[in-house]
Structure 1
């Protein structure tokens, strides 16, 4: 009997090592990894530049309190602000923590402005913002909130894509609108650029804040550093995690000057957030992602992947209903059961993961080669053919 609390339905397989886009199991089999730790291993497994950064920093200094200045933290913060809308960054360890920081920042902004009643945040059905209590109730998925006592108040949910419901939900108590730029867990649903522009306009008109959750789709996953860059808009607050750490626990909340005004010493903190080792890893990840041509290659490979999947959609019209996503955040909506289909894919040595709306998520590392995408397509083709 395992001593690990049973909060996951784990596959009966474990891995001894990983390299690039591949994982090597203890059973001797080699798997093409299009899960990437659920959009985490942006540089693939054990990228040499990242490994060197960990080795080098771990020999010097691993942890020091945020009561002191941390040069590696300042370096990463400046690179993130230089390449985004943000003026400031607060570092944490995970996506849920980054979301919690976003909620606190939005509420504190209006409190300091003398409007403490403006503390409610509008979210969307089908969203996923993390597993802490506030993040759970922000998304309000009944399967996730059941049994965890009184709901955390302060969130008003509207149907995804319902503009009329959104406008009706905004009141004099609304502090912010929070939405994933691309819904990940919710089925890889991309918010159209014109809708993002519309959200920015609504927030400006109503004098509320715009929080764009880029925990899963940010840091190059979409083919741009941030998925909202396609819409050429500037949000007020953006939580990130997953890809920025490349496999190392690291999250952050990016915030503009206006939204940051309520945050003073003592209003937020994290014991481990922004430690020198995590910061060195984050900087190593950005070294690669910010290289000239890297993001363009992600965008190009993502389009190639989607084009090939669309060909399979035409070939298997009775099994594939839709191909969606941006960059290397790709979803395939099936008419057949996604869980059962993933078993076929797994048997053929490709790793993928499910999402809502009967979707399978395909999240290769950003360094994936075209040949590896072709191999994945062949495996999906074979699995569709086998599925009865």
Structure 2
């Protein structure tokens, strides 16, 4: 490397210390394999935190981006554009939705969903209908509103005073919801699978019960599908696995295949609450982002592609279960599609980060979901060779870990 090549120490010198990135710098990716500055390869089981749904440097996404880059980059929301209209049409055709609002991230999508819920309730029922029910261990983003709705005080307590009117109750506990829901409730926001909270799937009875309670109390049911959406669970959106239709759904991460984009999906009757001037974003619906997302979504929505996610899930879970029979590290392996969490047993509790770091040493990238869960969220099209190679590398890391 020459003297102008950035090094890891530059992060500590120049960037706000919000993150603690790995010691190596990835410089190139192909499919689900990433290479660092020294040429070392890593099998990517993290997927950019469930973002890189089609892997790295996907040729079809590259082509969509380059074609749009030669046409129109940005105009602002005083104008519409062809890629955003085409993507909105796809989303409406493929889901429960009748209207779409585009933004740039999952946090912004959840912010828009919560603002919509309060404004709709204000217009329909008056100012007193403003309370929101959310769940402990939930994660909805890092804006002040969404971090307040998230049920993890470690992310919000340093930024008080926080927005009020938000009640947190236990996940998968309908009785807890019944105890706090009232005519003052304007919305319930829930992840069909809690991602950052430990990869914990909702039960069908829980989500169906929330739907019934929201109908009874005239509250909007918001599904946060930022992490579970766009093929991640083996269905296009996780709500399709439960037979429960939300009123508003937030989507981001995999939607852009690596290009930043977010959106909310909703029905006509609720969309009217966000009238002209009531909400907005400079970059939302940007032609570059929506061109890439349109191509990614058109690939992922195909039935054959989604069935491939299911088969990859089975291979990964079977392999992890076999590994656990040999090493006895996990007390539970759970999730759906290619969002899988392995919860450590008592012997190794609190050591997910250390295991993830040892996996890096063996050349495989994983995630954590709290201190006790190792999380996998690879590309939805990860090749059979990369999947097997990554599992072998993870096996080596876990074997080393239990023997140290």
2:237 is the alignment partner of 1:226: yes
1:144 CA drift (Å):
1.0
Residue from 86, 89, 92 that aligns with 2:100: 89
Partner of 1:194: 205
Equivalent-residue separation in structure 1 for 2:85 and 2:198 (angstroms): 36
**Unpaired runs of at least 5, structure 2:** 1-11
1:27-42 matched pairs, under 5 angstroms: 27-42=38-53
Partner of 1:332: 342
Q: Give 3-state SS (helix, strand or coil) of 2:334's partner.
A: strand
Q: Give 3-state SS (helix, strand or coil) of 1:2's partner.
A: helix
Residue from 363, 369, 373 that aligns with 1:355: 369
Partner of 2:137: 126
1:170-249 matched pairs, under 5 angstroms: 170-249=181-260
- Name the TM-score, length of structure 2 as normaliser: 0.93
2:160 is the alignment partner of 1:149: yes
Q: Does the 8 Å CA contact 1:186/1:357 hold for their aligned counterparts?
A: no
Distance 1:357 1:26, change over 3 A: closer
Give RMSD over aligned pairs.
Answer: 1.2
Q: Give 3-state SS (helix, strand or coil) of 1:6's partner.
A: coil
2:375 is the alignment partner of 1:365: no
Q: Does the 8 Å CA contact 1:322/1:334 hold for their aligned counterparts?
A: yes
Q: Give 3-state SS (helix, strand or coil) of 1:102's partner.
A: helix
- Name the TM-score, length of structure 1 as normaliser: 0.97
CA deviations 1:78-124 (Å, max 9, x no partner) are 10011001110000000000000000111111111132211111000
**Unpaired runs of at least 5, structure 1:** none
Equivalent-residue separation in structure 1 for 2:131 and 2:297 (angstroms): 34
1:357 CA drift (Å):
5.4
Residue from 146, 152, 166 that aligns with 2:177: 166
Equivalent-residue separation in structure 2 for 1:357 and 1:116 (angstroms): 40
CA deviations 1:153-201 (Å, max 9, x no partner) are 1211001122211101102210111011111100100112232222212
2:33 is the alignment partner of 1:22: yes
2:27 is the alignment partner of 1:13: no
> Which stretch has the larger CA shift, 147-156 or 29-38?
147-156
Equivalent-residue separation in structure 1 for 2:59 and 2:99 (angstroms): 30
Q: Does the 8 Å CA contact 1:111/1:262 hold for their aligned counterparts?
A: no
Q: Give 3-state SS (helix, strand or coil) of 1:147's partner.
A: helix
Distance 1:108 1:36, change over 3 A: same
Q: Does the 8 Å CA contact 1:333/1:357 hold for their aligned counterparts?
A: no
Partner of 1:379: 393
Q: Does the 8 Å CA contact 2:183/2:218 hold for their aligned counterparts?
A: no
Aligned residues: 387
Q: Does the 8 Å CA contact 2:369/2:375 hold for their aligned counterparts?
A: yes
Equivalent-residue separation in structure 1 for 2:174 and 2:19 (angstroms): 36
Equivalent-residue separation in structure 1 for 2:81 and 2:318 (angstroms): 45
2:77 is the alignment partner of 1:66: yes
Q: Give 3-state SS (helix, strand or coil) of 2:125's partner.
A: coil
2:328 is the alignment partner of 1:314: no
Q: Give 3-state SS (helix, strand or coil) of 2:323's partner.
A: helix
